[in-house]
Amino acid sequence: MTNKRATMMIKKLVLLVSALWIASILFLAALMPAAHAATARIKDIVNIEGVRDNALIGYGLVVGLNGSGDKLNNSPFTSQSLIAMLERLGVNVRGQNLNTGNVAAVMVTATMPPFQTQGSRVDVTVSTLGDAKSLQGGTLLVTPLMGADGEVYAVAQGPVAIAGFSAGGEAQTVTQNIPTRGRIADGAVVEREIAFSLNDLPEIRLALKNPDFTTARRIAQAINGFTSADLSYASNDATVVLKKSTGYPGSMVDLITDIEQLPIQPDQVARVVIDENSGTIVMGSEVRVSTVAIAQGSLTIKVNETPQVSQPNPFAEQGDTVIVPRTDINVNQGSDAKMTILESGVTLQDLVTGLNKLGVGPRDIITILQAIKAAGALQAEIETM
C-alpha cells in the first residue's frame, strides 16, 4: 500500500513539473517576440567618432552633348572655361566667336566614405550650372574634387548617365525627371587618403543618433556587462565614452566589433512631429493624453453660380439675349459634429481611433493636437517642421 501511494505521488509530481515546464516555455515564447521587436543593435543607433563620410566638390565641363548644352552668350563662365581648357591642350581660340551648343559647365559632387585608400573609386553626381537642356550623351572631362580644406582628394571623369529626358517642338515640350542632373558610377578615383588611425586611440566616443539619457546609460551598462569591466560610461545624453583596457587582448577595432552587436532597448521622448505644408503627422508610441473632451465642427458656406442664357422666341420682332444669374447657397453649421471624451492615459492608438471616429482629416487633427497641447492634456512635445 505504501509503495502504491509513493508511486501515485511521484506521477502527480512529474505531471505538475511537466505542466509548469510547458507553461514556462509558452510564457517565454510569448515574451521573446515583443522583446526582440523592442531592441536594436548598438551599431544601428550610434555613430563612432572619426568614422564619417567626407564631402567633395569640383567644377568641370561636360562635352559631347547633342546641341543641348549651354548657350555661350548666356553663360560666360562656360565660354571662359572652354577657352582655358583648349589653351592647356595647345589650341588658341581666344578672341574667336565660339558658337557651340555641345558643352555644359557643371558642378561635380561626391561623398568619400571613411578609410578610403588611394586608387579606390567613388560615385559622383553631375549638375548643370548654366542653361543647358540635358546632359544626355555627355562625358565629364577630368575634374579635380576638393575637400573643405581646399586639398584635392579625388579626380572624376567619365560618361554621364541620366534618368530623365526632354523632348519637344515649337508648340509643346515633354520633360521627365531631371535631365540636367546625372551620375557617374565609380566615376572618381581617390588620389589622397585621409589619415586616421582608429587603433591608436585610447578611447572613442559613441554618438547617439537620437540623444536620450536612458538609452545612453543602457548602452554603457550593456558594454560593461559584456566585457565584465568598466570600459564605458555615458558622459551626456548624446555621448557614450568607450575606453580600451590594457587587459583587453584585441585592438580598438576588435572591441568595436565585439560590442556593436549587443541588443539595446532604445528609449525616446514622447513627440508629435507635424508638417503643416503637407498635412503629415507622425506620433511616437509614448504619446499619452490626459482626460479631455474633443469636438470638431465648423461653419461652411458653399456658393454655386450657374448662370443661364435667356433668348427671345423664334421670329420675335423684339427681344435681346441676356444672361440670367442663378445662385445656390448651402450653409453647413456643423450640426452633425460629435464630441468625444478621451480618458486619462490613453495610448496613441486610442487617440487616433477617437479622432477618426469624429471624421476629421489630417489638417484638422493638427489643429486639434495643438489645442490639446495648449490645454495641457497632451503629454508630449510638438515639433513643427
* Residue 42: count of CB within 10 angstroms of its CB: 21
Residuewise pLDDT in 10s, the chain (385 residues): 455 565 666 666 555 545 554 444 444 444 444 444 468 999 999 999 888 899 999 999 999 998 889 998 888 898 888 988 888 888 888 877 788 889 999 999 999 998 899 999 999 999 999 899 899 999 999 999 999 999 999 999 999 998 866 666 666 667 677 889 999 999 999 999 888 888 888 889 999 998 999 999 999 999 999 888 888 999 999 999 999 887 778 888 888 998 999 999 988 888 888 887 777 778 777 777 777 666 666 544 455 656 777 777 776 667 677 777 776 656 555 555 555 555 666 666 666 666 666 666 777 777 777 887 887 777 788 888 7
Model pTM score: 0.65
Burial class of residue 35 (count of CB atoms within 10 Å of its CB; 0-12, 13-18, 19+):
exposed
C-alpha cell belonging to residue 127: 549638375
Q: Interior CA angle at 273 toward 270 and 277, to 5°? A: 170
